[in-house]
Amino acid sequence: MIKHHPTPALLLAFTQGQLGASLSIAVSAHLEHCECCRHQVLALQETSAQYLDDDIEVDEWEDDEMISTITDNDYELHPKQSSPLRVNIREHEYTLPKALQSVGLSNWLKLGKLSRARVDLNEGEVHTNLLHIEKGGAIPRHTHKGFELTLILAGEFKDEVDTYVPGDFIWLNDANTHSPSTETGCLCLTIANNSMHFVQGISQVLNPVGKLIY
């Protein structure tokens, strides 16, 4: 069962289109798994939309030309017909969330039991990846200089705090230290705005792991 959800403030920002693409995609992917958050977003959307129903002071609109430009063209738009992307990694096939179906993905880069593909969103220091951990894999104990969001898309993983399942939305910051591992393997969407900081082992040895994941 999903135990980790976006905060209400994050859901509101999502509903109002105020989050960047990476976090919006992550919330949307969570909603695919979580009915209770879907209900909340629908309610927030109705509330946000009341703005358009309010009697507010507005200037009379005078540009009639824009109206006729629009209505002169009479073709109808139909919903985009496309199906979610499938990815193959290490002989597993996964269906990606709908929110990822139109964005670019890099090739997979592999290191030990870890593989990652970048999601091309061009958001500066905020990096978004698909991360696959093969069964029995682990990430050394680390903390984060900024924030790290992990959304489980398939499989499971656990750390010192909990065991996570698809849909779990795990937000960590520099106050959290953990060492995730998976028995059966997992695919995650990860978003981070800084590289991770390893707190055990020789950090130089672990640097390639840190670079791969960020």
Partner 1 sequence: MLANDLRSHHVNMVVPTSKQVSNTKHPELCIWLQDVAINRDKLAFSKLFKWFAPRIKQFGIKQFNNEAQALELVQETMTNIWRKSHLYQKDKGAPTTWMYSIMRNMSFDMLRKLQTQRTETISDDIWPVDNILVSEDIDNFEDHLQSRNIKALLEHLPEKQKQVVSGLFYKQVTQEQLAQQLNVPIGTVKSRLRLALNKLRQLMGESDD
- Scan residues 45-104 and list those touching partner 1 (CB under 8 A): 45-46, 48-56, 58-61, 64, 66-67, 69-71, 73-81, 98-104
- Whether 131 and 157 have beta carbons less than 8 Å apart is answered as no
Residue among 118, 123, 179, 197 that touches partner 1 (CB under 8 A): 123
Among 3, 7, 8, 16, binds partner 1 (CB under 8 A): 16
Nearest distance from C-beta of residue 85 to partner 1, angstroms = 10
Size of the residue set binding partner 1 (CB under 8 A): 54
Rounded Cα–Cα distance for residues 176 and 191 (Å): 15
CA distance 193 to 213: 11
Q: Which stretch binds partner 1 (CB under 8 A): 36-44, 154-162, 189-197, 205-213?
A: 36-44
Least separation in angstroms between CB 45 and partner 1: 6
Inter-residue contact 115 to 132 (CB < 8 Å): yes
Give 120 or 183: the residue with its C-beta nearer to partner 1: 120
Buried b / exposed e along 107-137 (16+ C-beta atoms within 10 A)? eeeeeebbbbbebebeeeebbbbbbbbbeeb
Instruction: Quickly tell me which residue has 């109705």 as its tokens.
Output: 46
Shortest approach of partner 1 to residue 18 CB, angstroms?
9
| Smallest gap from residue 67 Cβ to partner 1 (A) | 5
Exactly one of 122, 175, 202, 204 binds partner 1 (CB under 8 A); that residue is: 122
Q: How far apart are CA 24 and CA 28, in angstroms?
A: 6
CB of 78 to partner 1, least distance (A): 5
**CB 49 → partner 1: shortest distance, Å?**
3
> Nearer to partner 1 by C-beta: 92 or 98?
98
Place of tokens 């507005």: 58
Q: Is 21 in the site for partner 1 (CB under 8 A)?
A: yes
State the DSSP H helix or E strand holding residue 95, giving kind and residue range, or none if neither. strand 92-95
* CA pseudo-torsion sign 109, 122, 147, 211: positive
Q: At what angle do helices 35-49 and 21-33 cross, to 10 degrees?
A: 120
* Interface residue list for partner 1 (CB under 8 A): 15-17, 20-21, 24-25, 28, 35, 38-39, 41-42, 45-46, 48-56, 58-61, 64, 66-67, 69-71, 73-81, 98-104, 120-123
